[in-house]
Structure 1
Amino acid sequence: MLTSTAAPMQAANSVLRHSEEACVTVTDDFLANNARYASTFHGPLPMPPGKHVAVVACMDARLDVYRALGLNEGEAHVIRNAGGVVTDDVIRSLAISQRLLGTREIILIHHTDCGMLTFTDDDFKRAIQAETGVKPPWAPESFPDVAEDVRQSLRRIEASPFVTKHGSARGFVFDVATGKLEEVKV
């Protein structure tokens, strides 16, 4: 049975525990997950990807590239950004992947219901400039049509002198409702 002084103490301890739990961040949870992962990790893996493939994909959390393609650790380079757009930095990563680490194929994956369909570059840059006083020097690379942006990204790869295995690039749209990939032809 709780006494009149025990009840407030129990309540205070409950609040303290709740406050401590509130201080635990998602990053803290990830660190705990990593400790479990590391305890059964079978490394080190070779630096070059085992399947000699580089995947460029959107950063959308609904797209699990590894599960969607049946990949395991060490089998592919996965390069992600907003929209899965082939930018200068993606070309840099692909050049390193091919020239130094032996990848021979490139797969592009965009997806349905992409956030990049919801704004224009100019509006986004204006909004940032209005908030910060500085206009971003980079292009957000929004697009009005997912399949057409896959084609544009494939053309950027084909046009790049830094990417060596041009003919091996293929593009797809991942359907976030079904999990299926549909190939986009140039």
Structure 2
Amino acid sequence: MADRSSAALIGRLTNSADDYKEARKNDSRRAVEPSLKLAVVACMDSRIDLFGLLGLDIGEAHVLRNAGGVVTDDVIRSLVISQRVLGTESIVLVHHTDCGLQKITDDGFKDRLEDEIGIRPPWALEGFKDPFVAVRQSVNRLLHSPFLAHKDNIFPFVYDVDSHRLIPA
């Protein structure tokens, strides 16, 4: 059963969805394929408004977000579908400064989870110290994937959360 704060949150979200529906009622865009043929992989950090940062609008790009914005097997799976089924040709990677994954280690996190719930996760946390090194590692993973159709247009960036600058990596 949801508590009052959960009910308030759900109410806020559904009210927003109603407003969104009303604002979009005459929107004729129905194409599933992103118009810029672009996929963006970025960190899930709530401080980063990717659409505002990159000047994107709805329907222009696929946006994949996870902890750290790192390229994992699941990110590659989504990018392969994005490219081979939905026509994207370019990939933008956005890592950032002051990332939560810079503050924890794989073993430390896994140890803590195992202590708390008795199970050690099988997946890699993908923690890192330097976002510039990490984003280049993600590029390398993309370049070595045999499944991606388009590897010529991969653009890595690091977003500085203090200066709000997007820095090519």
TM-score w.r.t. length of structure 1: 0.85
The answer to whether 1:36 aligns with 2:19 is yes
> 1:22 offset after TM fit, Å?
4.9
| 1:123-138 mapped onto 2 (5 Å cutoff) | 123-138=108-123
CA distance in structure 1 between the partners assigned to 2:49 and 2:119 by the alignment: 34
1:94 is matched with which residue? 79
The structure with more helix, counted as a fraction of residues = 1
CA deviation profile, 1:52-77 (whole Å, cap 9, x unmatched): 00000000001111000010000000
2:143 is matched with which residue? 158
CA, structure 1 residues 49+138, in 2 after alignment: closer, same or farther (shift >3 Å)? same
CA distance in structure 1 between the partners assigned to 2:72 and 2:7 by the alignment: 36
> 1:23 offset after TM fit, Å?
6.2
Higher relative contact order (CA 8 A, sep 6+): 2
CA distance in structure 1 between the partners assigned to 2:22 and 2:30 by the alignment: 16
Identity of aligned residues (%): 46
| 1:100-111 mapped onto 2 (5 Å cutoff) | 100-111=85-96
> 1:45 offset after TM fit, Å?
2.4
1:141 is matched with which residue? 126
Query: In terms of Rg, which structure is larger?
Result: 1
1:26 is matched with which residue? 9
CA distance in structure 2 between the partners assigned to 1:166 and 1:27 by the alignment: 40
Aligned-residue Cα RMSD (Å) equals 1.4
CA distance in structure 2 between the partners assigned to 1:39 and 1:167 by the alignment: 40
* Superposition misfits of 4+ residues, deviation over 2 angstroms: 20-25
CA distance in structure 2 between the partners assigned to 1:92 and 1:137 by the alignment: 18
CA distance in structure 1 between the partners assigned to 2:121 and 2:46 by the alignment: 25
> 1:83 offset after TM fit, Å?
0.1
TM-score w.r.t. length of structure 2: 0.94
- Aligned partner of 1:82: which letter? A
Equivalent position to 2:31, from 38, 46, 51:
46
CA deviation profile, 1:75-106 (whole Å, cap 9, x unmatched): 00000000000000000000000000000100
> 1:21 offset after TM fit, Å?
6.4
CA distance in structure 2 between the partners assigned to 1:21 and 1:112 by the alignment: 35
> 1:40 offset after TM fit, Å?
1.5
> 1:164 offset after TM fit, Å?
1.3
Q: Which moved more, 1:35-44 or 1:86-95?
A: 35-44
The answer to whether 1:63 aligns with 2:48 is yes
> 1:24 offset after TM fit, Å?
3.1
